[in-house]
Amino acid sequence: MDKFRMIFQFLQSNQESFMNGICGIMALASAQMYSAFDFNCPCLPRYNLAYGLGILLVPPFILFLLGFVLNNNISMLAEEWRRPQGQRGKDQAVLRYMFCSMAQRAMIAPAVWVSVTLLDGKCITCAFCTSVPVETLGNASHPSLSQGEMKRVLARIPCKEIYDGQELIANEVAVRYLRCISQALGWCFVLLMTTLAFLVRSLRPCFTQAAFLKSRYWSHYIDIERKLFDETCAEHARSFAKVCIQQFFEGMSTDLAATRCHPPRKAPADAGEAAEKLLGITDQGTMNMALKSWHRCKPPLHLHPPALPSGNGWAGEGQPPTHPPVPRRETAAYYSRV
């Protein structure tokens, strides 16, 4: 148990690295899932487009939602967004920073899926096989077919074993044409994602450094405050349970002493310490009221630290310098010299 506790504490203290590792694992898992996926195009005019685009877009959407679900900060973001205003205002910039940080990690696995799918080319071949330019790539001297028959023949291009339109257009030519377009789209998508990641991660702090530092600081504060609140509640609950159990056994000891004429045992020495940790909250109703008050009206972010000295270069900037007070005995001599 101690080893698991140490691992859990390490993951909590290195949450950002842990979430980056989870996103990397999800990206590798998405690529492995696609390689193990058995792609079967229906080869029907009405279903090819829906099947191909569905395989291209639906799994990335599921992986995107899964990236939010596995992120521990999603509940904190929802809580901060939905909480009442109270004595503490809500900074929309901080909420946007938290959401963008989670969205950036959640988009890694979907981007890998879309990239691998486009570079492989099966989805685009299945979805757009009926749009192959027969006049350019096929046999222009082939007897004319109706629009429905043409789509029925072209829809079988992904299914090489049942394709019967070699006289119209060669199967290998159509597949190579569609796969070339799909791979071009895939590399353009990879370039676009890489450029966006570079702009977001590198250039954004350069233009809005002050706002970026402010948003990052208060997002860290919200995370740390929630963790400390959970730890304080857990410690209070532990002390509450300890005092409750001790009072129960003290009552049992008093009853047994009354029936058997034995003196009751003394309370343990740490009972007073546990009672002090309750901070005066000693019943269920008061605790529920305190938790409700924390949710509805969190304390304002305004502390009252002691006054800082003005000689440190930034505190008291713009104020006239102050001179040390002159002792009373030397006041007359001081003014005579002046």
* Burial (0-12, 13-18, 19+ Cβ within 10 Å), 287: middle
Burial track 254-263 (b if 16+ CB lie within 10 A, e otherwise): eeeeeeeeee
* Burial (0-12, 13-18, 19+ Cβ within 10 Å), 246: middle
Q: Is the pLDDT of residue 97 over 70?
A: yes
Residue boundaries of the structural domains of the chain:
1-210
Q: Which of 87-91, 206-210, 324-328 has the lowest mean pLDDT?
A: 324-328
What is the average pLDDT value for the chain, to the nearest integer?
A: 77
Question: Cα 296–300–304 angle (5° rounding)?
Answer: 155
The average pLDDT across 167-185 equals 92
User: Rounded to whole angstroms, how far apart are CA atoms 18 and 212?
Assistant: 22
User: Rounded to whole angstroms, how far apart are CA atoms 123 and 93?
Assistant: 39
pLDDT of residue 108: 87
Question: Cα 252–258–263 angle (5° rounding)?
Answer: 85
Q: Is the pLDDT of residue 239 over 70?
A: yes
206 residue type, one letter: C
* Burial (0-12, 13-18, 19+ Cβ within 10 Å), 15: middle
pLDDT of residue 188: 96
User: Rounded to whole angstroms, how far apart are CA atoms 201 and 195?
Assistant: 10
Supply the DSSP symbol for 12: H
Q: Specify the pTM.
A: 0.68
pLDDT of residue 169: 87
The average pLDDT across 151-176 equals 88
Supply the DSSP symbol for 143: P
**What is residue 6's three-state secondary structure?**
helix
pLDDT of residue 251: 76
pLDDT of residue 67: 86
The average pLDDT across 6-31 equals 61
Q: What ranges in 147-203 are assigned the alpha helix state H?
A: 147-154, 171-198
Q: Which of 150-154, 242-246, 304-308 has the lowest mean pLDDT?
A: 304-308
Residue 236 parent element (H or E): helix 209-260
User: Rounded to whole angstroms, how far apart are CA atoms 76 and 125?
Assistant: 43
**What is residue 20's three-state secondary structure?**
helix
- The rounded Cα 250 to chain-centroid distance in angstroms is 48
Question: For the chain, what percent of residues have pLDDT higher than 70?
Answer: 74
CB atoms inside a 10 Å sphere around CB 335:
9
pLDDT of residue 88: 79
Question: What torsion do the CA atoms of 200, 205, 211, 214 make, to the nearest 10 degrees?
Answer: 100
